[in-house]
Amino acid sequence: MRLSIAAAVAAVLVAAWAAPAQSPPESTRRLEDLSRAFRHAYEQAKPAVVLIATARTWRLPRFHPQVPEEEYQGMGSGTIISPDGYILSNYHVIAGADSIAVTLADRRTFAAEVVGFDSLIDIALLKIDAQKLPTVPLADSDRLQIGDWVLAIGHPLGMGSTLTHGIVSALGRQAGIFDPSSEENRYAIESFIQTNAVINPGNSGGPLLDLHGRVVGINTAISTHTRYYIGYSLAVPINLAQEVVDDLLTHGRIVRGYLGVSMESELTQELIAERGLALDRPRGVYLSGVKPQSPAARGGLRGGDVILSIDGSDVNHSNQIQTLIYGRDPGDAIELQILRDNQPLQRSIILGEREDDRRLAQGHQRISRLGLSVERLPVELAMELGFDREVATELGFNRGEGPVVVVAVDPDGPAAAKGIKPRDVITEIDQERVTSLQQFVRFVSELEDGRSALFWFWRPDDGIDVRALMIDD
């Protein structure tokens, strides 16, 4: 009896071993396919995602010789977009940094320089001195749809390369992440991809991917009041970021179209009733004002007009108009359908360039023609030169203000002919104190063509010196 039971058990085990394994159910196979898609996208993109470490020194004790400088370390991510070392990240990751270090997936580290940035959409372009780098392909973010799967890669909380996933929760999202009281952010453009893919501090600048491993956005911010993820994340669409790259590499600066209008963020049912608009539902964008002498004014737009569409695309939010205009260049023509006095009208507008952008561009061009390259005076160089708080106070600088320093001089240019040298600190122009790099560029742009301007320099051994440079356009 015992032998027969043992034989039966053995027979059952042999049969079970020999039987073919049952296939997983269809639902499981679909999940496994999705997991494979996640892994493929991650493996394709990971080599091109970098860690960005920044260092800056607090400005408050900047010039005090007895107070030790307090260094702040920042961290973010970046996305390599070309084999010769161009990297996309967020402007807020590198803003104010005295040094930027980029660590690749293979653990090599390089110093990075800022090619340029657009603070209005929080995108920066960096460059490292390296070749044959891995890259990740870019998708067309205009083709994204709500519900699409997306993946986020970055270096959150200093934990190393991390993959999270989610879906597109909204498109063209305005989230109010820019400080409206800041002069720099007054014209900020918010048209984010909103997702529920988890990101945290350190993810900023890393890619948001589709299931094919292509970049659809640059992870930028978290919709939260705690600074940590609580449900929604925001990414700049890659098509907007690509505009920054194209402008910087083509023109050396950001070139934006400009319309010159003030808009209500949303046309509500209450506003429709208040203004007596013949609209069956809230649609279009209400113009609360048109700036004099602007492209909009020259094209016949008025305050109280409702823009219904631009080049055939319906618009219902102010950020839709901002985004459409951002992608156009000065001189481009756009066709608007508007509602005025409850009558539909067509208007053709030739876009211009914002005056502040034009002046900054002219300033940079003039500085280049003078044979100068300048930058904000870094803390390390200030201390090395002896430009401490005592010197700064003597020259009239307040806390938070700082001059610019000459970093390179064209030996055949006007500046070299006047004896200007690298490491000269520019403190004034025509007795106007230089308090920031942007202000210096504006000063130069406003100088009268055909006359000489007095540039005031500080040198460690000589103190203040003055040179007259001819402004010649």
User: Measured between alpha carbons, how far is 439 from 427 in angstroms, rounded to an integer?
Assistant: 12
Buried b (16+ CB within 10 A) or exposed e, 205-228: bbbbbbeebbbbbbbbbbbeeeee
Q: Are 193 and 141 in contact (CB under 8 A)?
A: yes
Alpha-carbon distance of 297 to 294, in angstroms, equals 5
**pLDDT of residue 277 exceeding 80:** yes
Distance CA 194, CA 108 (A): 33
Segment 393-408 mean pLDDT: 85
Backbone angles phi, psi at 101, to 5 degrees: -120, 135
From 120-129, 341-350, 431-440, the region with the lowest mean pLDDT: 431-440
- pLDDT recorded at residue 223: 63
Q: In this structure, are residues 336 and 310 in contact, taking their beta carbons and an 8 Å threshold?
A: yes
Question: Which residue, among 80, 58, 56, has the nearest Cα to 67 in the 3D structure?
Answer: 58
State the Cα–Cα distance between residues 202 and 237, nearest whole angstrom: 19
* Whether pLDDT at 182 is above 70: no
The more confidently predicted of residues 172 and 61 is 172
Comparing 416 with 473, which gets the higher pLDDT? Answer: 416
Its pTM stands at 0.75
d(CA 352, CA 14): 82
Q: Cα–Cα distance between 466 and 426 in angstroms, integer?
A: 10
pLDDT above 70 (res 10): no
Three-state DSSP class for residue 331: coil
In which element (H, E) is residue 298 found? helix 295-298
Torsion of Cα atoms, 312 then 318 then 320 then 321, to 10°: 60
* Average confidence (pLDDT) over 239-265: 89
DSSP codes of every residue in 1-55? -HHHHHHHHHHHHHHHHHSPPPPPPHHHHHHHHHHHHHHHHHHHHGGGEEEEEEE
Q: How far apart are CA 260 and CA 273, in angstroms?
A: 26
- Residue 57 is predicted with a pLDDT of 58
Q: Would you name the residues annotated as active-site residues?
A: 92, 122, 204
Tens of pLDDT, residue by residue over 337-362, are: 999 999 999 999 999 988 777 787 88
Task: Look up tokens 């000269």; give the residue.
Answer: 424
Q: Which residues share a beta bridge with 262?
A: 289
**92-106, 215-229, 270-284, 419-433: lowest mean pLDDT where?**
215-229
Residue 61 confidence (pLDDT) above 60: no
* pLDDT at 22 (0 to 100): 62
Comparing 73 with 224, the larger pLDDT belongs to 73
Confidence of residue 333 (pLDDT cuts 50, 70, 90): very high
Cβ-contact 30, 46 below 8 angstroms? no
| C-alpha closest to that of 392 among 378, 382, 406 | 382
The b-or-e profile of 328-367 (16+ CB within 10 A means b, else e) is bebeeebebbbbeeeeeeebebebbbbeebebbbbbbbbb
The whole-number average pLDDT for the span 120-142 is 94
Cα–Cα distance for residue pair 468/452, rounded to 1 Å? 6
CA distances from 220 to 106, 195, 306, 466 (A): 24, 11, 32, 44
Q: Which residues pair with 205 in a beta bridge?
A: none
- pLDDT tens-digit series, residues 454-466: 999 999 888 888 9
Radius of gyration of the chain (CA): 28
Per-residue confidence (pLDDT) for residue 389, from 0 to 100: 84
Kindly give the pairing relationship between strand 207-209 and strand 306-310: unpaired
Q: Which two tokens stand for residue 164?
A: 């999270």
Question: Most confidently modeled of 123-132, 156-165, 272-281?
Answer: 123-132
As a whole number, mean pLDDT of residues 186-194 equals 77
Mean pLDDT, rounded, for 160-187: 72
Q: Are 460 and 386 in contact (CB under 8 A)?
A: yes
